[in-house]
Amino acid sequence: MPYDTDFTAAPHRVTLDGRDRLTVSGVEDVDRFDENEIVMNTAEGVLVVTGENLHIDKLSLDGGELHVDGRVDALSYEEAGGIRGGGLLSRIFGG
């Protein structure tokens, strides 16, 4: 019996309830996060969330869904090569 190897990414959707509850679907990976910034790879590119007291309430990479609590100040998309600061290895080795 053949296995179905086709993976269909969850559709990308951003829902902001007020400024204190964010839900993002279509999340493929979370690159980094702290209480002021969350950087994630989505089906539509790199999404950067900035704010204060940001906390990841729920993360399901299997379902591609992320829930964030805290005050959201901005949402922005960046090109994959233009992520501020680069990855951890590029910062260590200066690449």
Q: What CATH number corresponds to the domain at position 49?
A: 2.60.40.2000
Whether residue 70 is contained in a domain is answered as yes
Model pTM above 0.85: no
Name the β-bridge partners of 77: 47
Instruction: Name the one residue in this structure whose structure tokens are 């204060």.
Output: 52
| CA pair distance 91, 1, nearest whole angstrom | 46
- Report which of 34, 37, 35, 31 is spatially closest to residue 49, judged by C-alpha positions: 37
What's the number of domains the chain is made of? 1
In this structure, is residue 46 part of a structural domain? yes
pLDDT tens-digit series, residues 39-69: 999 989 999 999 999 999 999 878 899 999 9
What would the pLDDT profile of 70-87 be if each residue is shown by its tens digit?
Answer: 999 999 998 765 545 454
Is residue 20 in a domain? yes
**Sheet with 45-60, edge to edge strand ranges:** 13-17, 21-25, 65-78, 45-60, 37-42, 27-33
Domain that holds residue 18: 13-80
Domain assignment of residue 53, yes or no:
yes
In a domain, 91, yes or no: no
